[in-house]
Structure 1
């Protein structure tokens, strides 16, 4: 399924090229969302085909979690730990990135998102994502990346 290949390659690209502190699940989901959001603004379509909804900490997709679990042990490693806030998950590359389903333009978008946000603290990244499209005013479980929720005038990355 080509849609699944895109998401796999997006995840593998971000995990393999991430050079910040720790790539947690929350941060990874937000980076994927920002790449899809910027692609939606630029090309009127996402890189992936996944559906995002507004959830506890902003944009979320169960498809991402399912894909991460499927990739664990192959392309990536999922590591878990405990903090005062509960269980957290972080990701490391398990192999060199190959990403054959991503176009040059899509890889460049992912690279720009990484460059802009890989050293941003997760809490600040969540706040940034909320501010882009005023997600405070959006009801929980509302589908995101649709004409009604994207403020195309507010870019996540410098183009």
Structure 2
């Protein structure tokens, strides 16, 4: 399965484990943490994505592109809200009802599912602030400059 397919599978697995859905930022950060733990445990990221340091931490536009494709495929639903503090829009992703009913035919390996389970269990219910604080405190994130790729080599030991 190509990394684009694995990315969509990772997104589905994350959303299956989060009842209330996730903001776009939470989804991106959980994908990053999953890939980070996979590098540590498996020697490679599950999604195959390259993350760059962006204004709000590690980011890959491929995650948002995959979410858009999954909306078009009616596999997930995006809800839009307006922040009471900033007045800016925010987005919440949830699995579409038809996706919830589907039998899981995942192209992910058992050890990849274990990584996803662990990350979502530990970080999936954190408030956005606590999740961001955790991610921003990681050494490779602290060391990266705006626009730089996150260096996985420091992690895989």
Aligned to 2:11: 11
- Aligned counterpart in structure 1 of residue 124 of structure 2, from 118, 131, 138: 118
Please provide the CA RMSD for this pair: 1.8
1:135 offset after TM fit, Å? Answer: 2.3
Preserved CA contact (<8 Å) 1:78 1:92: yes
- Aligned counterpart in structure 1 of residue 148 of structure 2, from 121, 136, 142: 142
Aligned to 2:138: 132
Aligned to 1:79: 79
Aligned to 1:92: 94
Aligned to 2:23: 24
Please, which runs of 5 or more residues in structure 2 have no aligned partner?
none
Which range is displaced more, 76-85 or 51-60? 76-85
Q: Structure 1: which 4+ aligned runs deviate by more than 6 Å?
A: none
1:137 offset after TM fit, Å? Answer: 3.3
Q: May I ask how many residue pairs the two structures share in their alignment?
A: 150
Preserved CA contact (<8 Å) 2:52 2:58: yes
Higher helix share: 2
TM-score normalized by structure 1? 0.86
Which range is displaced more, 97-106 or 111-120? 97-106
Secondary structure class of the residue paired with 1:89: strand
Preserved CA contact (<8 Å) 1:58 1:129: yes
- Cα distance between partner residues in 1 of 2:147 and 2:81: 27
1:36 offset after TM fit, Å? Answer: 0.3
1:99 offset after TM fit, Å? Answer: 4.6
